[in-house]
Amino acid sequence: MGNSCGGFKEYWELVRQYPKFQGGFIWDFVDQGLRGRGKEGVMIYKYGGDYNPYDASDNNFCNNGLFNPDRVPNPQTDEVKYIYQNIWVSPVNLARGEVAVYNEHFFRDLSAYRLEWTLLVEGEAIESGLIDALDIPARQTRTLTLPYQLKGIASDKEVLLNVRFVLKRQEGLLFAGQEVAKAQLVIAPYVYDHALTAHAPTRPHATAVQPTVNRENARCLRVRGERFAIDFDKKSGFLTRYEVNRISLLHEGARLVPNFWRAGTDNDYGGNVHKAYAVWRNPAMELKSLEATQEESQVVVRAEYEMPEVKARLQLTYSISPDGVMQVVQKMMADTTAKVPDLYRFGMKMQLPYELEYSTYYGRGPVENYADRKSSAFVGLYSQTTDEQAYPYIRPQETGTKSDVRWWKQTTSGGRGLKVMSDAPFSVSALHYSIESLDDGEAKDQRGEERGDGEADLPRH
């Protein structure tokens, strides 16, 4: 059903652990939609309710496959392919290049395949190689040594090993060189560089002009630096202006605001999760205080809110350096005795100028992936346009999220824009669609797409 197959890896861990276990069945192979024209004459795949308002219909329920009606694979197909693969790699001694390869096939060895490996440092490939002879019988494991070199790599760098298995020769519909299995192993884990935060701007504090605070304006609190202008609305406490080098990083009239919601998926609606979590869609946030202080060479702005509907208090702290680099900390203090439902997300969102069309990031990709569906999406460096971020599910819903992101850039074609980092891997999406335009509200409807200025959904843990 639409954006789905979360938890598929865990189902198959049970399948492989217990020989008699059954479950994790997928329904269906393909979305059962019929080609037609929408209200504006654009080709769409129609489903129940698109033909008339009176025939019995279960909306898009028959569009519940791994593939679109035209057999284009939906994003979750990558995860299914990965979990279904029959060759698996595990570490033995990665410092010496030793890995174990398990042939899960029941009746064939691995002589038809070639192993290809790539060593990556911070997402950049620095070495690669292959093993052409794989003498591993069915249901057997062999230890192989990959001749990569780790000397000279700094100890604070993330080092990953990508391994893939490809066909040597064509087999039926499978072409020579087609990938049949893959793995990513961690040689040295990711370590966040705290020197990249607002406490360490791009040039020494001694040579930068200290930011100033102007509290005189009736509508906003203003922070100014040599290269930037930042405003906070006094009524809401939210950031409403962020300009660096005379380039606005916010769309006109937009704000940087807390976000606890995402558009519902088909399975959310099937289980009424969107109703159970509804209080988090747009919870009231009552500003209690907005203060700005000069702390060393920075300006620190603090906003505190009461959230009565969810029995919580929220603190937003903005530490602004002389260069306009801004560290944002969002902290929620919940009433542990109150009965409040879970929340979809804990993060922030902002609407960006349309020209910030280009996404470059270091994290899982290239297809969308989520906390419960990310095994097949390997960590790497990816560059995409905002148009490429969203997937056109037949019924619009949550789409385009990338997980375990180390950093994310959203820029113009000339490279101007913003870079987002966090002290732990996070999730991000950057779409031409707002959450509200993808969300069906209380019940599914015959929804279409709505395109506007880009909206970025910022770090979520």
CB 88: neighbour CB atoms within 10 A? 15
Stretch 399-416: mean pLDDT = 97
Q: Where does the chain hold its CATH 2.60.40.10 domain(s)?
A: 85-188
Q: Where does the chain hold its CATH 2.70.98.10 domain(s)?
A: 193-344
Q: What is the pLDDT of residues 36-49, one digit of tens each?
A: 988 788 888 999 98
Tokens 């019995």, residue located: 56
Q: What is the pLDDT of residues 134-178, one digit of tens each?
A: 999 999 999 999 999 999 999 999 999 999 999 999 999 999 999
**How many angstroms separate the CA atoms of 318 and 79, rounded?**
38
* Complete DSSP assignment for 143-181: EEE-----TT--TTS-EEEEEEEEESS-BTTBPTT-EEE
Q: What is the pLDDT of residue 244?
A: 95
Is the Cα torsion angle 57, 63, 65, 69 positive or negative in sign?
positive
The CATH superfamily label for domain 85-188 reads Immunoglobulins (2.60.40.10)
Residue 204 pLDDT greater than 90, yes or no: no
**How many angstroms separate the CA atoms of 173 and 353, rounded?**
45
Q: What is the pLDDT of residue 456?
A: 58
Residue 308 DSSP SS3: helix
Q: What is the pLDDT of residues 58-94, one digit of tens each?
A: 899 999 999 999 999 999 999 999 999 999 999 999 9
Q: What is the pLDDT of residue 197?
A: 61
Q: What is the pLDDT of residues 293-342, one digit of tens each?
A: 999 999 999 999 999 999 999 999 999 999 999 999 999 999 999 999 99
Please give the sequence-ordered ranges of beta strands (E in DSSP) within 236-320, or none if there are none.
239-244, 247-248, 257-259, 286-295, 298-307, 312-320
Q: What is the pLDDT of residue 201?
A: 47
What phi and psi values does residue 153 have, to the nearest 5 degrees? Answer: -85, 125
CB 232 within 8 A of CB 290: yes
Residue 202 pLDDT greater than 70, yes or no: no
Stretch 230-256: mean pLDDT = 97
Fold of 193-344: Beta-galactosidase; Chain A, domain 5 (2.70.98)
In this structure, the chain runs to a length of 461
What one-character DSSP code corresponds to residue 18?
-
Q: What is the pLDDT of residue 279?
A: 97
Residue 34 pLDDT greater than 80, yes or no: yes
